[in-house]
Chain A
């Protein structure tokens, strides 16, 4: 049975109080959260250890400068717990990373929230988020989508945290700016909350109340997926979409699933020598340089698509404005379906490529 901890403050202030309490009580060694930094209207992820500095924390801020889940994998072993406030998709990324031994769950008290979606980089660059915030929160409280949030967010049906120790009720929470509702799922969360003034009562977190949001998001997702017309034209479609790729591989560097220190497709194995280039040249009459633009995308898809949690960072960073995220998510879902795998659903669920069943795809290869 979950417990709900209600604090009579706005959602954000409530969490900060709670975090402060945990820090002072030495339940945790630090807090990983979004925070304000020196310059006005600038934010980043920070690990805060001094309770006083929590004043800068903005845990619910609708922005994802980097995928927090990816950042959490920086902590291999720590002797003190760290409370991390991250978005549901970041949490799912982290679960996927844990499966690949790129992070340790036991290091953290994982706090997440029903997410109303976040803004793209464009807005943080234009520095106009603050003025949009009031409206944003109104809309989120209503449980609808704010017009300027990322498309990937509008298409995200996983905005309810999975595997969190604590879920903060945000999207669809009408008393957003008067009440802060923290659902304590795990034992460690309940234990840590002991002694915190604020009323705690037993109440199961009710996912069903979000059905309508989920359905809306799904509808939008389908629309978004349909925009990607690659399938109809195959190779040419790929070239149409990825033709402008400049091969900077930023998508893989910000991707929370791409954990490799050096991408295989950047390794010397894939370098061309002039002999190979000559073969290509004489066959085509002309070759694009650097080569293997589309090959890289295919390769990355084959490595991680089934684990894509659709955080949208790849689209955000793409200098050529390629809708990478939509494509990867669309294909990822198709692949994951085969193994009825949902990335970030359950840490026990093994990555499809690491296991097999003897009695599967038995007709394959026998014809």
Chain B
């Protein structure tokens, strides 16, 4: 695995964090380091954010490099046009680390072609839950501003899954990374992580001369703290998922809308296997099933769906938390999946989205697995 570079470019923060990032990006666009840049932008009604691929500098002014919410996963946005092959344009994407990681996962799964795409990440304090933001955008904007100003990486108004995220900083396989740190208040760092990153630094004729160890220390502290939070949260989560009755309890509110999967960046399937005719039982089977147990519940096979989905994507899960945002009945899907992913990825000594080169341990699923699960589920529901 690639190590973080130990030198970075010193970028003044006189104008403030967001503004400085925006300015840097603008200059890069101006110097044709890329033809367009993907960034979050507030929607006209000012009640949410959307991903916008920006070419026009005037429009760039409107963009917000560090959005308080993540309604759509940046990786999904990228794959929406680069799935069909490499883009003729050079594009940069300024995204949160979890989005960069999702993008890298998707590139392994041939859903994104990264050839002409520059990935730029930054130290992420987390994002607010979507519903909180849509309930009261103005408040949320204020709230988030203070988080940024204070560089608070442990605010408890951000999504639970963000609070326990330890991958909130530099992703080894990104091209450029913006590093923020308290110990160096008047500037931030722009750290090149790849040839392409270095090339851009060159074109901008910047110098990567600033030592990054200070910043590194700062980030490591934060990471420690987040990891502690993570571990204690995992203890609780263990009790929410272990054993099928517990699992059924946890998912008892689930209405089977499968929105968790359609918001999930790494659930790239056009149609989920668990929505397909193959898994929908015939009605006479249903009645028999019901008779065996005195009753069955609708929608069918909800637990099978969640467990099945784990079997498909937990190795690639980046704990971005979109599933929780998308859940109409507020099940802590994100944390649960994050917990499961943590375990499965450990088993394969695999970290989703860290390394472009190593491929996903399970890129295809085997029917036997699902059969197995089906049986388990049946027992569980019986």
Contacts and interface: CB of A to CB of B under 8 A. Distances in A.
Contact between chain A and chain B defined by CB under 8 Å: yes
Nearest to A289: B77
Interface residues of A, number: 75
Contact of B287 (A30, A247, A266): A30
B81 A319 contact: no
Contact of A285 (B45, B55, B257, B283): B55
A289 B256 CA distance: 27
A289 B45 contact: no
B44 A243 contact: yes
Interface string A17-44: 0000000000001101001011100101
Interface stretch (A271-279, A295-303, A340-348): A271-279
Contact of B259 (A49, A236, A266, A319): A319
Given A49-B287, A78-B287, A244 B43 contact: yes
A319 B130 contact: yes
Interface stretch (A4-12, A160-168, A208-216, A249-257): A249-257
A281 B259 contact: no
A235 to B, nearest CB: 11
25 contacts: A30-B291, A47-B287, A48-B290, A48-B294, A66-B299, A74-B286, A78-B284, A125-B329, A239-B43, A254-B255, A254-B257, A271-B80, A273-B85, A274-B88, A274-B89, A278-B89, A285-B56, A286-B52, A286-B53, A289-B81, A319-B259, A319-B263, A319-B326, A320-B134, A321-B134
Nearest to A250: B259
B283 A253 contact: no
A272 B50 CA distance: 18
Contacts of A319: 71, 130-131, 259, 263, 325-328
B127 to A, nearest CB: 13
Contacts of A124: 253, 329
A49 B59 CA distance: 61
A320 B50 CA distance: 12
A200 interface: no
Among all A-B residue pairs, the 8 with the closest Cβ atoms: A285-B56, A50-B294, A244-B48, A243-B43, A290-B80, A289-B77, A274-B87, A317-B328
A42 B251 CA distance: 10
Interface string A317-345: 11111000000000000000000000000
Contacts of A317: 255, 257, 259, 328
A42 B328 CA distance: 15
Nearest to B59: A286
Nearest to A48: B295
A249 B262 contact: yes
A38 B252 CA distance: 9
A133 interface: no
A318 B259 CA distance: 10
A77 interface: yes
B136 to A, nearest CB: 11
Interface stretch (B16-24, B208-216, B268-276, B312-320): B268-276
Nearest to A52: B294
Given A29-B287, A80-B287, A246 B263 contact: yes
Contact of A44 (B51, B82, B297): B297
A171 B321 CA distance: 42
B161 interface: no
A262 B48 CA distance: 27
A82 B296 CA distance: 13
Interface string B242-282: 00010011001101111100110000001100011100101
A290 B290 contact: no
B295 A53 contact: yes
